[in-house]
Structure 1
Amino acid sequence: MQQKVSVMPFRHLSGKFAVCGVGTSAYGNFPETDDYGLAADAFAAAIEDCGLEKNAIDGLVVSRLPHYARMAEILGIQPRWTLQMPPHGRMSGISIIESLAALEAGYADYIVLLYANIGRSRRVHYGGEEAPGFWDPWGFTSMGAIHAMLFREHMEKYGTTTRQLAEVSVAFRNHAVDNPHAVMKKRIGIEDHQNARMICEPLRLFDYCLINDGAVCLILTTTERARDLRKKAVGIAGIGAQDALRNSSYPQHDFWFEPLQKTAEQVYGSAGLSHADIDGLMCYDNFSPTVLFSLEGMGFCGRGEGGSFVEGGALGLGGKLPANTDGGHLSNSYMQGWGLNVEAVRQVRGECGGRQIPDCEVVQYVQATPCTRSIIYTAV
C-alpha cells in the first residue's frame, strides 16, 4: 500500500529557529589568500554581528571548503556536530534545512554555516574543457549553454523576449549600485543589455553571474536564544524542498515547474503565509532566465507569464516584488545562494540603506536548481 507523503513536513519547525548572525568577506580577486582565509573573515564578521562568544559555537556546516576539521581548527572552535556539504549551488538551502533539523534534535545550540569560493583568482570557468567528459553525453559545455537553450525554449513556447529578460538584469544592477559591497557599480538600462555581446545565444553578457572570490557566514540558533544577542533576531517561518534530479541536468522542458510548485505548497503551508505577504524575494540567479522560471513555478505569476510579470520595473525597489536587492549573483557576486540568504536577513532587520524595502517584514528565498528549495524569513 502506497503511503501518502505530507506536503507540509516542516510545519513543526515554523518560528522555532532564527538567524542570529550574518557576515560576508569582501568580494573580488584575492590570489593572496585562500578559501579558508575568506571564510575566517566572514566568520569574524558574523560573530561581531551577533555578539556571540566564539566558544559557544557547537555546530559547523561547510560548503565549497576543503574540509570541516581544518576550518574548525583555523577558527578555534570545537563543534560537537559537523556537516561537510558538496560545492554545488543548491547547497545553501539544503544546509539551512539540515541545520534546523540538527537544532531540533538537540545536536547543537549554535550552528555556524560557512561557504567560500575562490573561483575568480583560480580562474574557474564552470564549463568548457575544465571538466572534460562531464557534460559530453548531453552535448553541452556548461550550465550557461543549458540555460540558453532553456530560455530559447521559453521564447518559442510562450513568446518571451530578451527585452523582458533584460528587466531582471537591469533591476538587480540598479540595486547593486546602492550596495557598498557589490562588485558591479555601473548602472545599465534595457538597451545596454540588448547591445551587450552574446555569450550563448540568446543569453548575453549581463545574463550571466559574476564569478568572484568571497565567503558567507550565517549563525543559526533557537528563536529564544537569538533574542538575547546583539542584533534583531530573524525567524525562519517556512521551509520548502523538492528534488528534481533526473538523468541529466537539463530539466526536460518543464523549467523545474512541478518541483517548484511542490516547494511553494510546502513553504507557504508551513509558514501560514501566501504570496501576498511577501515583501521581498531573493531568487537564485545564476543566469537571468532562472528568475523567470522561479516566479512561474512558485506561483507569483501564471505559467509562461514570467516575462510579462517583470516588465515595467516589477523587481525593482518600488515595484510589485522587489528582488535580489543586494544585486544578486548577476551584479553583487556569485556566492551560490548564500549571499542572498544574508540579504534576506538584513532586509528584515532594516539594515540595507538605499536599497531597503520599506516596511519589510517577510522575505522569501527561492532556489530553482535540480534541488528546489525555499525559505521564508520573518521578523520575530
Structure 2
Amino acid sequence: MPSPAISRPWPLRDKVAFAGIGTTRYGNFPETDSYGLGCEALNAALEDSGLKPGDIDGLIVSRIPSYERFAEMMGINPQYCLLTETPGRFSAVSLALAAQAIATGAANYVALVYGNNGRSVRMRYGGGDSQWSPWGMTSPGASHAMMWQRHMHEFGTTHADLGPVSVAFRHHACLNPDAVMHGRPITLQQHAEARPICEPLKLLDYCLINDGAVAWIMTTAERARDLKRPPVLLSGYARQDAFHYGSAPPDDFWYPSLSATRSVYDRAGIGREDLQGLGIYDNFSPTVLFSLEGLGFCNQGEGGAFVRDGALQLGTGRWPTNTSGGHLSDSYMQGWGIIAECVRQLRHECGERQIPDAQAMQYICATNIAQSLILRRAA
C-alpha cells in the first residue's frame, strides 16, 4: 500500500537521540531483584555511551518499585524523575515523555530503566483468582484469544496464519546468542501441534516470562554526536488512546486507534518504503497481524496472507521483524528490549541477525494506548 503523503515538518523530528543502550542476561535470577537488574542494565548503558552516573539528570523507571531507592543505588540526583505504570505500552510512552523533557530543557540526559524479576518471584500475569475483565477472563492471553477468534470469524483467517510469525521470530532468536530460545528452532508443524492454552491460541503463540532489565540513555541529537556510539534519532512518534473498551477487547482489534498512528510517517518525514525493518510488540502472535493491518502494511483481515511466505523473516522477507526474537523467543521485556534491538540494528551491531544497511526502523505497539515510533540512523 502507498505511504501517506509527507508534508509539514514536525517540531521534534530528529531532535532527540539514543546515546546508550544496556541490557542484562535474560532468564531466572532469584539471587537479585528488579533494582539489581536495573542497575546492571543502566551501568551497561553508561559504559555504552561513555557517560557517568553524575551526568544523568533525568530518570524514568518501570517495574522498579521506587525511583528514589533506585536513584540512591545508582548515585543519581535528577532534576526530572518519574515512575510509570507497569504495562508494556509504557515503554513507548516513557520514550515520548523523555523526548519532551529533553526538547523542553527539563533534563539533558535522561536514563530510562526497566527491570523485571517476574519469573524468579513467580509473578502471575493472570490465572488463579485474577480477573482480567468483568467477563471473567483470567489473563491477557484469554482476551487476545477472543480477539483472534473474532478475526477468524470476520475474515476467514486460521490458527495456521499465526505460524509464520512464531517461526520467523524463533529463527531470529537462533541468530541471537543472548535470546532465551537461542538454539531451539521450531517448524510450522510444531507451532500447529503445540499444547493448547486458550482456544484458539497455543503455547508458541504466547510470549516468554523471564527476569531481566533494559536501559536507554537519551539526550539531544547534538550532544549524542559527541559520545561513543553513532546516534540513533527519534524521527517521529504518534499515539492514540481508546478507552471506550477499557475493560474488554474490541471487535476491531484496535484498528481505528492504530490507524490513527499512521501520522508517524508524516511526522518523521519517512514513508513505509523507506524502512528496512520493524519492531512489533508481540505479547501474543495475533498482535503482530493486528499491528501490520493497523499501520497499513496490508488491508484489515489480510495479515495472515501478508506473512504467509516469510515476509517477516530476516534473509527472505521484505519486512524483517523482531530480529532479536521478540517477546515470543528472545525475552519478555514489554517493548523495552524490542526498541533496544531497533537501536542496535541502526547502529549496525547485530552480527548474524543484522539487517543489511539498516537506516530506519519502525516500532508498533497495539494496545488501547496505540503507538508507533520511527527511529533513524544519524547521517
TM-score by length of structure 1 reads: 0.95
Question: Which residue among 235, 258, 265 is the counterpart of 1:260?
Answer: 258
Alignment partner of 1:88 is 2:82: no
Counterpart residue identity of residue 156, structure 2: G
Q: Is the alpha carbon distance of 1:249 and 1:363 closer, same or farther for their aligned partners in structure 2, counting shifts above 3 Å?
A: farther
Inter-partner Cα distance in structure 2 for 1:8 and 1:141: 45
Q: Secondary structure at the match of 1:27?
A: coil
Measured against aligned partners, the alpha-carbon deviations of 1:317-372 in whole angstroms (never above 9, x if no partner) come to 13010000000000011100000110000000110001000111000111111101
- RMSD value, Cα: 1.4
Please say if residues 16 and 221 of structure 2, whose CA atoms lie closer than 8 Å, have aligned partners that are also in contact: yes
Inter-partner Cα distance in structure 1 for 2:107 and 2:72: 18
4+ residue stretches of structure 1 with deviation over 2 A?
7-10, 246-251
Counterpart residue identity of residue 270, structure 1: R
The equivalent residue for 1:183 is 180
The equivalent residue for 2:298 is 301
The equivalent residue for 1:3 is none
Please say if residues 19 and 49 of structure 2, whose CA atoms lie closer than 8 Å, have aligned partners that are also in contact: yes
Q: Secondary structure at the match of 1:11?
A: coil
The correspondence of residues 362-373 of structure 1 with structure 2, limited to 5 A, is 362-373=360-371
* Percent identity for Structure 1 against Structure 2: 54
Q: Is the alpha carbon distance of 1:38 and 1:56 closer, same or farther for their aligned partners in structure 2, counting shifts above 3 Å?
A: same
Measured against aligned partners, the alpha-carbon deviations of 1:164-202 in whole angstroms (never above 9, x if no partner) come to 211000000000011111000200010010111111111
The equivalent residue for 1:316 is 313
Please say if residues 138 and 248 of structure 1, whose CA atoms lie closer than 8 Å, have aligned partners that are also in contact: no
The equivalent residue for 2:158 is 161
Measured against aligned partners, the alpha-carbon deviations of 1:208-241 in whole angstroms (never above 9, x if no partner) come to 0001000000000000000000011000101111
Inter-partner Cα distance in structure 2 for 1:58 and 1:136: 39
Q: In the comparison of the two structures, how many residue pairs are matched?
A: 371
Question: Which residue among 273, 276, 281 is the counterpart of 1:276?
Answer: 273
The correspondence of residues 205-284 of structure 1 with structure 2, limited to 5 A, is 205-265=203-263, 267-284=264-281
Counterpart residue identity of residue 242, structure 2: A
Offset of 1:156 from its aligned partner?
Answer: 1.2
Please say if residues 295 and 301 of structure 1, whose CA atoms lie closer than 8 Å, have aligned partners that are also in contact: yes
Gap runs ≥5 in structure 2? 1-5
Please say if residues 129 and 138 of structure 2, whose CA atoms lie closer than 8 Å, have aligned partners that are also in contact: no
The equivalent residue for 2:112 is 113
Q: Secondary structure at the match of 2:262?
A: helix
Counterpart residue identity of residue 210, structure 1: L
TM-score by length of structure 2 reads: 0.96
The equivalent residue for 2:324 is 326
Inter-partner Cα distance in structure 2 for 1:285 and 1:181: 18
Please say if residues 285 and 291 of structure 1, whose CA atoms lie closer than 8 Å, have aligned partners that are also in contact: yes
Inter-partner Cα distance in structure 1 for 2:312 and 2:186: 15
Please say if residues 134 and 247 of structure 2, whose CA atoms lie closer than 8 Å, have aligned partners that are also in contact: no
Please say if residues 10 and 240 of structure 1, whose CA atoms lie closer than 8 Å, have aligned partners that are also in contact: no
Question: Which residue among 129, 138, 142 is the counterpart of 2:139?
Answer: 142
Offset of 1:247 from its aligned partner?
Answer: 4.2
Inter-partner Cα distance in structure 2 for 1:114 and 1:269: 29
The equivalent residue for 1:44 is 43
Please say if residues 133 and 248 of structure 2, whose CA atoms lie closer than 8 Å, have aligned partners that are also in contact: no
Gap runs ≥5 in structure 1? 1-6
Alignment partner of 1:338 is 2:336: yes
Counterpart residue identity of residue 357, structure 2: D
Inter-partner Cα distance in structure 2 for 1:264 and 1:204: 31
The farther-off stretch of 9-18 and 361-370 is 9-18
